[in-house]
Amino acid sequence: MLPEDVSVGKDAWSMGDGTPSTRYGAYAMESLINETLKLGARRERLEMKLFGGGRILPSMTDIGARNIAFANSFAAIEKLKVVARDVGGTTPRHVIFFPQTGRSCSST
Evaluate whether 23 touches 31 at the Cβ level (below 8 Å). Answer: no
pLDDT at 56: 86
Question: How many folded domains does the chain comprise?
Answer: 2
pLDDT digits (tens, 9 = 90+) for 51-90: 999 998 888 888 889 889 999 999 999 999 999 999 999 9
Give backbone dihedrals phi and psi of 17, rounded to 5 degrees, phi first: -90, 5
Report residue 29: phi and psi, to 5°: -65, -40
Same domain for 40 and 63, yes or no, is: no
Assigned domain for 1 exists:
no
Tell me, yes or no, whether 86 and 64 share the same domain: yes
7 is a domain residue = no
Q: Does residue 30 sit within a domain?
A: yes
* pLDDT above 80 (res 24): no
CA 68 – CA 91 distance, rounded (Å)? 15
Does 21 score more than 80 pLDDT?
no
Task: Flag whether pLDDT at 25 surpasses 80.
Answer: no
User: Is the same domain home to 71 and 103?
Assistant: yes
Q: Are residues 36 and 54 in the same domain?
A: no
Residue 86's SS3 state is strand
Residues 59 and 77 in one domain: yes
Q: Do residues 6 and 69 touch, judged by C-beta distance below 8 A? A: no
Lowest mean pLDDT among 11-15, 71-75, 103-107: 11-15
Domain with 79, as residue range(s), is 48-107
